[in-house]
Amino acid sequence: MYEAERDPYCYPGTDVLKNKAGLTSAGALERFETAMTFARSEEPLPHGRLSASHYRAIHHHLFQDVYTWAGKYRTIRIAKGESLFCYPENIASEVARLFAWLKRHRYLQRLEARAFAKGAAHFLAELNAIHPFREGNGRTQLTFLTLLAHQAGHPLDLDKLDPDAVLQAMIASFGGNENVLADIIAELAA
């Protein structure tokens, strides 16, 4: 999925991420990852104040059974399709900047539905452009967004979520158009 040269996260000569179960087949790892993160997502999430450390704790919670680096920022450059994400040396400062933005905007609380959707889309687009973790960004983003929306009084109905539409909206947001993402969030919150 990711394009990374001589990726120290992978078993040599493969694109399979080193994992706690020692699985060297991509399919087996995918099944293991899905099962483990699903089980963890059924448990109560770590408490926190919607901060950067809270975000890391959520990634750690979901991926702790699979990767030793759960909850830790990546150390290599990664890209998906045309999108080259934040360089690793800038991740900590960019994450700090983004969560300071969220705090300054009072965690998007006390906003009307459309204003919430717009703010949440901006936050999500920025978070995705940073892509702080080697893997598991999408699931952590969605978990955090669900929490943020709930606390802001605009709970999301995830049954309505269309993964392909979200992917297209995320790609558009990387190119600077956050409107499609805002429309999706508004629809999920309606």
Ligand X SMILES: Nc1ncnc2c1ncn2[C@@H]1O[C@H](COP(=O)(O)OP(=O)(O)OP(=O)(O)O)[C@@H](O)[C@H]1O
Which residues contact ligand X (rule: CB under 6 A)? 80-81, 83, 128, 135-139, 141, 167, 170-171, 174
| Least gap, CB of 83 to ligand X (angstroms) | 3
Query: 80: which strand partners?
Result: 83
C-beta of 88 vs 138, nearer to ligand X? 138
Q: What angle do CA 31, 35, 39 make, to 5 degrees?
A: 170
Instruction: Quickly count: other Cβ atoms within 10 Å of residue 174's Cβ.
Output: 19
| Least gap, CB of 171 to ligand X (angstroms) | 4
C-beta of 128 vs 154, nearer to ligand X? 128
C-beta of 76 vs 171, nearer to ligand X? 171
How far apart CA 61 and CA 10 sit, in angstroms, is 21
Which amino acid belongs to residue 103?
Answer: K
CB-closest chain residue to ligand X: 138
SS3 track for 53-77: HHHHHHHHHHHCCCCCCCCCCCCCC
| Least gap, CB of 139 to ligand X (angstroms) | 4
Residue whose tokens read 């978990």: 143
| Least gap, CB of 110 to ligand X (angstroms) | 27
C-beta of 51 vs 168, nearer to ligand X? 168
